[in-house]
Amino acid sequence: MQYDIIVVGAGHAGVEASLAAARMGKKTLLISMLVEQVGATSCNPAIGGLAKGHLVREIDALGGEMGLLTDEAGIQFRILNATKGAAVQGSRAQIDMDRYRVLAKDVVLKSSNLDFIQECVDDLIVEDSRVIGVRTELQNSYYGSSVILTTGTFLNGIVHIGEVTKSSGRFGEFSATKLSDSLKKAGIRLGRLKTGTCPRVDSKSIDFASLEIQDGDYPPSPFSFRTSKDEFVKQKKQLPCFITYTNVTTHQIIEDNFHRAPLFTGQIEGVGPRYCPSIEDKINRFRTKDRHHLFIEPQTMQNSECYINGLSTSLPPDIQEQIIHSIDGFESAKITRYGYAIEYDYVDPTQIRHSLESKHLDSLYLAGQINGTTGYEEAAAQGLMAGINAALSLDDKEPFILRRDEAYIGVMIDDLVTKGTKEPYRMFTSRAEFRLLLREESADIRLSRYGHEFGLIDDKQLERVDSKKAQILDGMLSIEAKSYTPNREFLQFLASIDEEPINDKASAQQLLSRKSFTKEKMLLLLPELSRYSPYIQEQILIEAKYARYIEKQLQDVERMKSNLHIKIPKDFDFTSVSGLSSEIVEKFEKFNPPTLQAASNISGVTPAAIEILHIYIKMQSGKQESQKQSS
């Protein structure tokens, strides 16, 4: 019962953590309550979305499993924000949630260096402030050099359905209460969060004819860079989703029963996700709206049961029945599973390092909802990073920490560690200062070399990534070499492709940066680019459109890096800096950092605070220089 790495919990974080550790050659044990629930999608039957799709692509580029599982289990694929710029587009896939779970379990159980045991962990085994193992409810002790906790909503979880509450980590499954006590005993500060899910409905009882149909994209785009797109398009079958709406009657039923809603009666204490509120919260907060979107999503390829996205609720069962029957297309619908809310403990993430290792207990790593996040994708990304870092630690190597300009994963972890969270944290493109550099389609170029270094990406895949990078660079060189003058022939050409004329000499890159310039127009302007595949042509066009902005962001990144080495004067008065919160000023005065780099490493200090501090240091330096000259 001696292992290199022990992973507790087999949700999305646990799957990625255990696979990464095992694939890096470490003898790994994955402990979870039910083997049937490895990789279970507890809530919505979908992977990806805005910013979340970026995370999945980054997980895949580093050698994680989520993208591959999604491509196998996917039943509908769409690009969200397709009409907007590439930086804010997001891939999303509906999945057969039963198949996804089976595939995840099979990958785990068939992996070398990875053992699985079905037990519930009750306690951490701690020696001299270092975690050396875990003890289970069966009084088995498992020892490891590192332990990774990926407990999801199971840490002291309580389910709420109307007035009914029960200890549960997921409806029908046990809660991990003793492990929560073990963390508190070790001096780790815990908080309380809440999330929820919607009722599921028997598909044959839904009148789909009265709903709006929402088909997937054709051709569908796979999530994984390692999936053959041609084979994927040929073989992938897609199912439609549907849209309906709540109405005035629905809202009245909910409002009339606020007094029975655990969210409003004080029964629920934990803070819920602001960006994914329950339907009763939506009706309460947005009283002027007379309807809300509901997305009807098939849970499996057989479409025997549907998930009602947008109808998360913890109202009593009889009220849920009334709500469902008030919705167009659901007049005769039969509920198969009632919606519920779940409260659970989480660890204040300011207590962990960027490596996801605990500051209080050496060799203890935390990943997923235990760190205050919400969503499969956020959890999987943290699990992968925790698995990699636990493995690197055993080899006495420096931790793998992604910067904010390198990956959304870096943004997320930095946000959690430096700012903490009082509500379930969700990834958004708006959280990334350098999102032009962090586009979905560039994740493999940004990150695959790291994955290869860790042994998670094979040589062939790295060769494909290097080839892609070389072709895009070659195409960009062709574009940069071309410029055009407003002669009659060229003006006629622009008119023939329905483009505005030019008045002065213009580069090819300037023309391609126009919003109206499509891939087809690009090939007419630069026929030599036809030698590349359609996929590479798309990447070249994206690079050309963003070229000037990307260059500026790269300059910003370099400036930020160089600024971190700037020294902070010993007598610097932090209270004089306008724009810093009193909390950050207090931390600066306590630690008295010698450089901006040291200041940025203080928990709770944001990049914005560092930028403000830098401006004031320059201002003080300028004043001192002026005084010297005047004297």
The predicted model gives 450-468 an average pLDDT of 98
pLDDT score for 574: 92
Q: What are phi and psi of 236, to 5 degrees?
A: -75, 125
Closest CA to 229 of 349, 91, 97: 91
What is 291-358 written as a DSSP string? --EEEEEESSTT--EEEEET----S-HHHHHHHHHTSTT-TT--EEE--EEEEEEEE-GGGB-TTSBB
Share of the chain above pLDDT 70, in %: 98
Between 216-220, 428-432, 503-507, the lowest mean confidence (pLDDT) is in: 428-432
Between 66-70, 511-515, 601-605, the lowest mean confidence (pLDDT) is in: 601-605
SS3 562: helix
Cα gap 23→423, rounded to integer Å: 34
Cα gap 423→274, rounded to integer Å: 7
Cα gap 249→576, rounded to integer Å: 56
The residue to which tokens 């805005």 are assigned: 50
Query: Between 567 and 147, whose confidence is greater?
Result: 147
Cα gap 307→237, rounded to integer Å: 19
What's the Rg (C-alpha) of the chain?
A: 26
Cα gap 147→31, rounded to integer Å: 11
Cα gap 11→42, rounded to integer Å: 9
- pTM attached to this predicted model: 0.90
pLDDT score for 114: 98
Share of the chain above pLDDT 90, in %: 81
SS3 122: strand
pLDDT confidence tier of residue 560, bands split at 50, 70 and 90: confident
Cα gap 265→319, rounded to integer Å: 16
The predicted model gives 7-13 an average pLDDT of 98
Cα gap 205→88, rounded to integer Å: 37
SS3 118: strand
Q: Is pLDDT above 80 for 97? A: yes
pLDDT score for 631: 62
pLDDT score for 225: 97
State the CB neighbour count (10 A cutoff) for residue 309: 20
Cα gap 39→66, rounded to integer Å: 10
* AA identity, residue 527: P
State the CB neighbour count (10 A cutoff) for residue 178: 15
The predicted model gives 591-617 an average pLDDT of 83
Q: Is pLDDT above 90 for 154? A: yes
- pLDDT mean across residues, the chain: 94
SS3 232: helix
pLDDT score for 603: 67
Length of the chain, please? 631
Q: Where are the beta strands (DSSP E) in 114-234?
A: 114-118, 121-127, 130-136, 141-149, 158-161, 164-167, 190-197, 200-202, 212-214
Task: Find the angle CA(446)-CA(371)-CA(395) to the nearest 5 degrees.
Answer: 60
Task: Find the angle CA(34)-CA(376)-CA(350) to the nearest 5 degrees.
Answer: 100
Eight-class DSSP state of 568 = P
Alpha helices in 24-141 (DSSP H): 52-62, 66-73, 97-110
- Buried b / exposed e over 472-485, threshold 16 CB at 10 Å, is beebbeebeeeebe
pLDDT score for 619: 86
pLDDT score for 183: 96
Closest CA to 116 of 226, 51, 199, 19: 19
What is 476-521 written as a DSSP string? HHHHHT-EE---HHHHHHHHHTT----SS-EEHHHHHTSTT--HHH
Eight-class DSSP state of 426 = -
The predicted model gives 258-283 an average pLDDT of 91
pLDDT digits (tens, 9 = 90+) for 332-390: 999 999 999 999 999 999 999 999 999 999 999 999 999 999 999 999 999 999 999 99
For residues 501 and 491, is the Cβ–Cβ distance under 8 A?
A: yes
The predicted model gives 521-531 an average pLDDT of 96
Cα gap 31→346, rounded to integer Å: 19
Q: What are phi and psi of 592, to 5 degrees?
A: 45, 60
pLDDT score for 245: 97
* AA identity, residue 101: R
The residue to which tokens 């979905």 are assigned: 440
Eight-class DSSP state of 366 = E
Q: Could you tell me the domains of the chain?
A: 2-194+343-453 (3.50.50.60), 200-340 (2.40.30.260), 466-556 (1.10.10.1800), 564-630 (1.10.150.570)
Query: Between 614 and 252, whose confidence is greater?
Result: 252
pLDDT score for 606: 75
pLDDT confidence tier of residue 418, bands split at 50, 70 and 90: confident
pLDDT score for 100: 98
pLDDT digits (tens, 9 = 90+) for 191-213: 999 999 999 999 999 999 999 99
Task: Find the helix packing angle between 52-62 and 443-453, rounded to 10°.
Answer: 40
pLDDT confidence tier of residue 581, bands split at 50, 70 and 90: confident
Q: Is pLDDT above 70 for 569? A: yes
Cα gap 73→105, rounded to integer Å: 13
For residues 201 and 334, is the Cβ–Cβ distance under 8 A?
A: yes
pLDDT digits (tens, 9 = 90+) for 165-192: 999 999 989 999 999 999 999 999 999 9
Which secondary structure element, helix H or strand E, spans residue 8, and what is its range? strand 2-8
